[in-house]
Amino acid sequence: MQTSFTLAQLADPDIAASNDILRKCVHCGFCTATCPTYVLLGDERDSPRGRIYLIKQMLEGGHDATEETVRHVDRCLSCLSCMTTCPSSVHYMHLVDHARAHIEETYQRPLMDRLLRGVLARVLPHPGLFRLSLRLATIGKLFRFLLPKKLKAMVALAPASLPPASPLDQPQVFKAEGERRMRVAMLTGCAQRVLDPEINAATIRLLTRHGCEVVVAQGAGCCGALTHHMGKEDDAHAKAKANIAAWTAELEGEGLDAVVINASGCGTTVKDYGFMLRSDAAWAERAAKIGALAKDITEVMRDLGLKPVADLPPLTVAYHSACSLQHGQKITALPKQLLSQAGFTVKDVPEAHLCCGSAGTYNLLQPELSAQLRDRKVKNIASTHADAVAAGNIGCLVQIAQGSKSLGMETPVLHTVQLLDWATGGPRPKNL
């Protein structure tokens, strides 16, 4: 794609990076075949190629974002399926992130939209506030008919009950069983700690059982993905720096072999810390080092070597490949291989490349499109006739579980690590 940025514009490192991305696009349109919103809507502007044109026009002209550009960029899930499909290696993720930051800086959203985004940015990354908001949402369900459409969607997503907060998510060290083979820092996350703390508990049991010392570092918290994808760069960078500082202290202390992450949406962001902070001289080197240390839990278990010990009953598992894992981190076969090694029969889900519609805050900000993708995904899962569903991202787990319930299905939905923990001597997952 030909671009015409001025030399003054190209002096901005963000513009320079986006220019390089834009110039790789050859208009082939392969991305349209695998883009969930284009599949649903059939609008070129709701495809990666169409959004690239809109973003190019906005950035190249130095314009404030228009309502049209905002509408179509907002509909992007950041599922990154287009990056898997693209034969020209267009790094769409970095381009759309830049566009969102530009939109946040130059576009005045309607009041209700601003309020909703402000609440999400303030509440979701903080487990205490998130837990409180979910309890209040339970009361709010009684008054749903009075609420605006998007608030109705938020309230509807609130679970009927919440598990208690886990003490395992507090800063501490979990010693390896037997000889220590690795030492890792674990990102405990934010929403996951509230919605399903058993995922972190299963992760700790699995790692320590395989000779891994696990550190929950003082000062580490939200990875920054939620606000990063809203274009709130300052907030996202502050969260990234807090994590980098916490994990660097451990790295320079007793050392770390990896930063292990069991929510793939977070993993894609942490692995990108080096790019996010590349222009910050004080943080760039440390950010790149931490990004290189980041590994999904399945990557760590591959390195440790899974040791199944339990004599499990036959169980067929439909594996849902989270977009952030298969497209963002290019991890596709590994989770299925580990589940098979653990003794489970694994089935692929049809249309596995298509997003389930969760996508961070997408199911709250774009509830209609999200629901269509959710129901499509759940029907594809049902066609496998599996006994359970496994995935590696909390957003997908919640989305699929709610979709299954709304369609009258009772298939248990679990994190991959819960099944691996069970197979290697841990407790049977409760929802099995």
pLDDT surpassing 80 at residue 158: no
Is the CB of residue 169 less than 8 Å from the CB of residue 197?
yes
Domain ranges across the chain: 7-106, 111-157, 167-302, 308-423
Provide DSSP, 130-194.
HHHHHHHHHHHGGGGGGS-HHHHHHHHHS-S--PPPPGGGSSEEEPPSSS--EEEEEE--SHHHH
Phi, psi (degrees; rounded to nearest 5) at 299: -65, -40
250-256: long-range contacts at Cβ-Cβ below 8 A with a sequence spacing of 24 or more? 250/185, 250/215, 250/217, 251/289, 251/290, 251/293, 254/183, 255/183, 256/183, 256/184, 256/185, 256/215, 256/293
pLDDT at 136: 82
pLDDT above 70 for 315: yes
pTM for the whole structure: 0.93
Over the stretch 103-120, which tens digit does the pLDDT of each residue have?
999 999 999 899 999 999
What is the model's pLDDT at position 150? 67
Higher pLDDT, 156 or 94: 94
Burial 98-111 (b: 16+ CB within 10 A, else e): bbbbbbbeebebee
Residue range 394-420: average pLDDT? 92
Q: How far apart are CA 180 and CA 255, in angstroms?
A: 13
Q: Is the pLDDT of residue 137 over 80?
A: no
Give, in words, the CATH class of 308-423. alpha beta
Top CATH class of 7-106 equals mainly alpha
Burial 23-62 (b: 16+ CB within 10 A, else e): eebeeeeebbebbbbbbbbeeebbbbbbbbbbbbebbbee
| Nearest partner of 395 among 354, 359, 355, judged by Cα | 359
Mean pLDDT of 375-381: 96
pLDDT digits (tens, 9 = 90+) for 241-262: 999 999 999 999 999 999 999 9
- The pLDDT value given to residue 147: 67
Q: What Rg, from alpha-carbon coordinates, does the chain have?
A: 21
State mean pLDDT over 319-323: 97
The partner residues of 187 in beta bridges, in order of sequence, read 261
